[in-house]
Amino acid sequence: MRDDWLYDEQNRYVSSSRAIPILDIAEKRERLRVATEIDEYGAVALSPDGKTLAVGLMRGVRLHDARTGEPRGELTAEPAFGITGLVYSQGGRVLAASTDLGGIAAWDMPDGRVRFVSEVPKRPAKAIAISGDGRTLATVTFAASVCDARGPFGLSPWPFGVWSIACGVRGGAVHLFDASTGVRTRSTTYEEFVDAVAFSPDGTAVAAGGSGLVRLWDLATDDSRELFRADGDWSVRCLVYSPDGDTLGIGLGNGERGKLVLCDVRRARARAESDGLSGPVRSVAFSPGGTSLVAATPRSVVLFHLDAASADQGRTPSR
């Protein structure tokens, strides 16, 4: 999904529109463009069979025929919510969404029957992932709100007394839900913010990242370890596992710059990276065979061909 802003010769705003280009990767061309209204929220997901495009908006999900772009129906649920992320289960039988209420919603596909709507944990969820067996959903949110008492000039309230109370969110959290019922089953919190989440292919671990750091949560032991730490002011925007689970694709952003990193999961180190992309990497995906990787920025979609020998030596993948 991309926003197009039109300006005149004096750089004055004229109009804006939102569109979803569907690309033919083999031919490296735009095959179709689906137009949609400007909305406060936005998310897209393509069904595993490639036939249906799901578009998340402020009040539900609109379905389109991915071959023609024609609308095929809408999915709604109560209470109304804004869609922040969308994901299909591996077989396409379930479509799940993270919401601005902090919980999740799910529909049985293709009939569009509401499976459940969960409203916890009451903080906007920023991403959603589903395990390979389709049994568990994961979202990331802000952690709990924290209030600090302050004295004069921001000093400790002791011994001056409390002059003000400053409240805000601190850190991030990962939440797991039962994909059949929407019941939250487990949560873990981190000191840093988290904006992206991904299940390992075998469903035994969850990777989460945000403030330049990626952590791996082992679901069997409940332990968490650092998997990757970016240098400088890079922020993690998106995550994806390779089909074999050995590599984690990490999309990063730093202002108008973007970078893609391939991380060796077992060794917890970067295997290869490509920087200088035209804007922060907002989405990343492996091909089914794991030999290619696609990264999307606000200005471009880049296809990388992964050379195993080059990756093991830390060289940039070809594109």
Predicted pLDDT of residue 103: 82
Give mean pLDDT, residues 149-166. Answer: 52
Could you tell me what percent of the chain has a pLDDT over 70?
85
More reliable by pLDDT, 239 or 156: 239
Helix (H) or strand (E) holding 81: none
Contacts by residues 290-299 (CB-CB < 8 Å, ≥ 24 positions apart)? 290/242, 290/243, 290/244, 290/247, 292/25, 293/240, 293/249, 293/260, 293/262, 293/317, 294/25, 295/249, 295/251, 295/258, 295/260, 297/258, 298/2
Give mean pLDDT, residues 30-41. Answer: 76
Cβ partners under 8 Å of residue 62, min gap 6: 36, 54, 55, 71, 73, 74, 75
Range of lowest pLDDT (43-52, 102-111, 164-173, 196-205): 164-173
Residue 166 scores a pLDDT above 60: no
Give mean pLDDT, residues 291-319. Answer: 73
Residue 162 scores a pLDDT above 50: no
* 67 vs 50: CA distance, rounded Å: 8
What dihedral angle (degrees, nearest 10) is formed by the CA atoms of 284, 274, 18, 30?
-80
pTM here is 0.84
CA distances to 117, 201, 238, 241 from 110, rounded to whole Å, are 18, 24, 28, 26
Predicted pLDDT of residue 118: 87
Predicted pLDDT of residue 54: 95
* 115 vs 29: CA distance, rounded Å: 37
* 122 vs 145: CA distance, rounded Å: 11
What's the mean pLDDT when you consider all of the chain? 85
Give mean pLDDT, residues 144-172. Answer: 54
More reliable by pLDDT, 236 or 211: 236
Specify whether the backbone of 210 is left (phi greater than 0), alpha (psi in -120 to 50) or beta: alpha
Identify which of 37, 43, 6 has the alpha carbon closest to the alpha carbon of residue 19: 37
Residue 5 scores a pLDDT above 80: no
CA distances to 19, 88, 125, 155, 223 from 55, rounded to whole Å, are 11, 12, 17, 48, 35
Give mean pLDDT, residues 112-127. Answer: 84
* 164 vs 167: CA distance, rounded Å: 10
Measured in whole angstroms, the distance separating CA 274 from the mean position of its chain's CA atoms is: 20
Q: What is the pLDDT of residues 236-271, one digit of tens each?
A: 999 999 999 999 999 999 988 999 999 999 999 999
Q: What is the pLDDT of residues 53-100, one digit of tens each?
A: 999 888 889 999 999 999 999 998 887 788 889 999 999 999 999 988
Predicted pLDDT of residue 38: 62
Sign of torsion, CA 17 79 171 131? negative
Most confident of 10-24, 71-85, 142-156: 71-85
